[in-house]
């Protein structure tokens, strides 16, 4: 009998062990299948948690590893969108290495990355491959409404464009042919290697380097031809005139359908008028002032200019403002010339004007000789052949001391990207956030107040009294 009982116990134990093992095996197989083959659905109206098929295809076809460093605090409102987007991309390629850096505690790592990628103290996403890298800022991955920022209010987050920005950066660092930008020198231009002087362009250079561009100086007088690898030529605040040989070199460069960025100041001698005439642009011999929109307690020539939103450069900067100090007007030479597309990037209000009496200490509007507002101080120009030019009537707005003001850095970076035709590289649209508001009339508000203040308290009191009486019985 003992043997029979022992046999039954052993049999039941074996069956239980096999059942538990089978259950564990089924759970493991189900978990593996669900990990490899699963279905998910994004129920948000604007598909905030879905990446596009274009993104998936590009990520799947990555041949070389790409490192992504996220230097955003987890308390940031953008962090959840950033982490979801990157984690979704990571699912489609093992080549994408995403690393979240704890910027509040891992100070050594933050310092190492800041030194390597020319970072300051802002929040960044860095996309890196070998020696090539691209740095994305908050404004690169999010859309804000700056409509009330002039009144001291915080900008309102209205959309997330991180997928487009990250994908564009990945393609940029994956391209072994890096874009090269040359800044002219030899005419008193701002020095791109000067990080000590307030008037240096070192911060502007670092900004371009964070976009994976190679930035170098060039002395035109020593050359017989501008190098073939020059993707963009920049003239930044020249003080002395260009000789005819240099002007011919620039014209030859433009004949190759290459872009040009020109920044000049009032009263500076080299306006490169022949180059500007080629694009139907005229640089005014004036100083632009605007008493109604200038820096408080400063000169009327210290401008706060509205950025126009009708161009690819300034469209992402809607309702934002640029800060310029002692700027010159930029206008169309021949308004009947339909072969040149002239787009204003920044201009004064209607109260501004172009002061032609530059030496006068008193700035007074003279309608007979001055240029009446609104006056443009920056423009983007494109001819029918696709030749592109951006002109600023101020070269100081991207100096070390000024580039951090308002939208100056974004305006400069967007101008460079447009000139290099980088703005249309990726066409993944931003994810916009819907605002749901309830409109309540004054009559409905009075009814709601009566319900909240009188009816609900009385109802609660009545129920309490009824319960009390029932319990008394």
What tokens appear for 254 in the block?
A: 């433009």
Q: Is 353 helix (H, G, I), strand (E, B) or coil?
A: strand
Above 50 in pLDDT, residue 470? yes
CATH of domain 53-171: 3.40.30.10
Predicted local confidence at residue 228, as pLDDT: 94
Above 60 in pLDDT, residue 266? yes
User: pLDDT for 141-180, tens place per residue?
Assistant: 887 776 665 556 677 787 888 888 898 888 888 877 889 9
Q: Are 243 and 274 in contact (CB under 8 A)?
A: no
User: pLDDT for 101-125, tens place per residue?
Assistant: 998 888 899 999 998 888 877 789 9
Predicted local confidence at residue 437, as pLDDT: 56
d(C-alpha 209, C-alpha 202), whole Å: 10
User: pLDDT for 34-45, tens place per residue?
Assistant: 666 656 666 666
With 0-12 CB in 10 A as exposed, 13-18 as middle and 19+ as buried, what is 412? buried
Query: Using CA atoms in the order 251, 255, 256, 257, what is the torsion angle rounded to 10 degrees?
Result: 100
Report residue 244's pLDDT band, with 50, 70 and 90 as the boundaries. very high
Q: DSSP state, 241?
A: P
Alpha helices in 92-212 (DSSP H): 107-117, 138-141, 162-174, 202-209
Report residue 246's pLDDT band, with 50, 70 and 90 as the boundaries. very high
Query: Using CA atoms in the order 440, 445, 451, 453, what is the torsion angle rounded to 10 degrees?
Result: 130
Residues 6+ away with beta carbon under 8 Å from 448: 440
Beta strands in 169-250 (DSSP E): 180-184, 214-218, 232-236
Residues 6+ away with beta carbon under 8 Å from 240: 186, 187, 188, 269, 270
Report residue 269's pLDDT band, with 50, 70 and 90 as the boundaries. low
Above 70 in pLDDT, residue 293? yes
Greater pLDDT, 118 or 95: 95
Average pLDDT over residues 174-200: 91
Burial 243-281 (b: 16+ CB within 10 A, else e): eeebbebbeebbeeebbbbbbbbbebebbbeebbebbbb
**Beta strand pairing call for 66-71 and 142-145:** unpaired
Q: Confirm whether pTM is higher than 0.75.
A: no
Predicted local confidence at residue 184, as pLDDT: 96
Q: Is 381 helix (H, G, I), strand (E, B) or coil?
A: strand
Average pLDDT over residues 339-346: 93
Predicted local confidence at residue 427, as pLDDT: 47
Above 50 in pLDDT, residue 192? yes
Predicted local confidence at residue 119, as pLDDT: 85
What tokens appear for 399 in the block?
A: 């100096």
Predicted local confidence at residue 145, as pLDDT: 72
Average pLDDT value over all residues in the chain: 85
d(C-alpha 380, C-alpha 342), whole Å: 6
Name the residue ranges covered by the structural domains of the chain: 53-171, 180-419
Ranked by mean pLDDT, the top range of 138-147, 150-159, 226-235, 464-473 is 226-235
d(C-alpha 118, C-alpha 209), whole Å: 8
Architecture of the CATH domain 180-419? 3-Layer(aba) Sandwich (3.40)
Beta strands in 59-177 (DSSP E): 66-71, 96-100, 124-129, 132-136, 142-145, 156-160
d(C-alpha 46, C-alpha 43), whole Å: 9
Predicted local confidence at residue 423, as pLDDT: 66
Predicted local confidence at residue 392, as pLDDT: 96
């Amino acid at each position: 009998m003992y043997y029979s009982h022992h046999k039954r116990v052993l049999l039941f134990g074996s069956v239980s062990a096999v059942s538990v093992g089978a259950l564990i095996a089924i759970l493991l197989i189900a978990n593996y299948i669900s990990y490899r083959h699963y279905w998910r659905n994004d129920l948000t109206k604007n598909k905030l948690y879905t990446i596009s098929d274009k993104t998936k295809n590009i990520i799947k076809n990555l041949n070389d590893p790409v490192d992504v460093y996220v230097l955003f605090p987890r308390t940031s409102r953008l962090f959840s969108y950033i982490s979801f987007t990157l984690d979704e991309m990571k699912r489609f390629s093992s080549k994408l290495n995403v690393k979240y850096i704890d910027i509040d505690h891992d100070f050594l790592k933050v310092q190492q990355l800041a030194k390597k990628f020319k970072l300051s103290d802002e929040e960044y996403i860095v996309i890196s491959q070998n020696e090539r890298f691209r740095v994305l800022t908050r404004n690169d991955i999010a859309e804000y409404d700056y409509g009330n920022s002039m009144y001291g209010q915080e900008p309102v987050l209205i959309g997330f464009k991180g997928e487009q920005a990250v994908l564009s950066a990945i393609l940029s660092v994956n391209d072994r042919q890096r874009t090269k930008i040359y800044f002219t020198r030899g005419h008193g231009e701002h020095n791109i290697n000067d990080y000590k002087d307030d008037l240096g362009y070192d911060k502007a250079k670092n900004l371009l380097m964070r976009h994976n561009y190679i930035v170098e100086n060039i002395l035109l007088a020593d050359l017989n031809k501008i190098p073939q690898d020059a993707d963009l030529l920049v003239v930044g605040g020249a003080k002395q005139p260009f000789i005819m040989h240099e002007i011919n070199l620039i014209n030859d460069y433009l004949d190759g359908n290459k872009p040009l960025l020109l920044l000049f100041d009032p009263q500076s001698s080299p306006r490169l008028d022949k180059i500007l005439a080629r694009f139907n642009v005229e640089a005014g011999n004036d100083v632009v002032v605007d008493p109604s929109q200038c820096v408080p307690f400063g000169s009327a020539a210290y401008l706060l200019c509205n950025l126009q939103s009708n161009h690819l450069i300034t469209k992402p900067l809607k309702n934002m403002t640029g800060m310029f100090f002692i700027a010159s007007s930029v206008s169309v030479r021949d308004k009947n010339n339909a072969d040149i597309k002239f787009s204003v990037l920044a201009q004064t209000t209607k109260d501004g004007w172009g002061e032609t009496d530059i030496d006068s200490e008193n700035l007074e509007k003279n309608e007979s000789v001055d240029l009446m507002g609104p006056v443009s101080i920056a423009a983007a120009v494109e001819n029918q052949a696709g030749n592109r030019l951006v002109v600023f009537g101020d070269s100081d707005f991207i100096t070390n001391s000024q580039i951090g003001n308002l939208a100056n850095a974004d305006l400069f970076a967007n101008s460079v990207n447009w000139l290099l035709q980088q703005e249309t590289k990726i066409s993944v649209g931003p994810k916009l956030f819907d605002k749901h508001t309830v409109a309540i009339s004054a009559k409905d508000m009075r009814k709601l107040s009566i319900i909240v203040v009188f009816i609900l308290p009385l109802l609660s009191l009545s129920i309490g009294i009824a319960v009390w009486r029932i319990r008394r019985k």
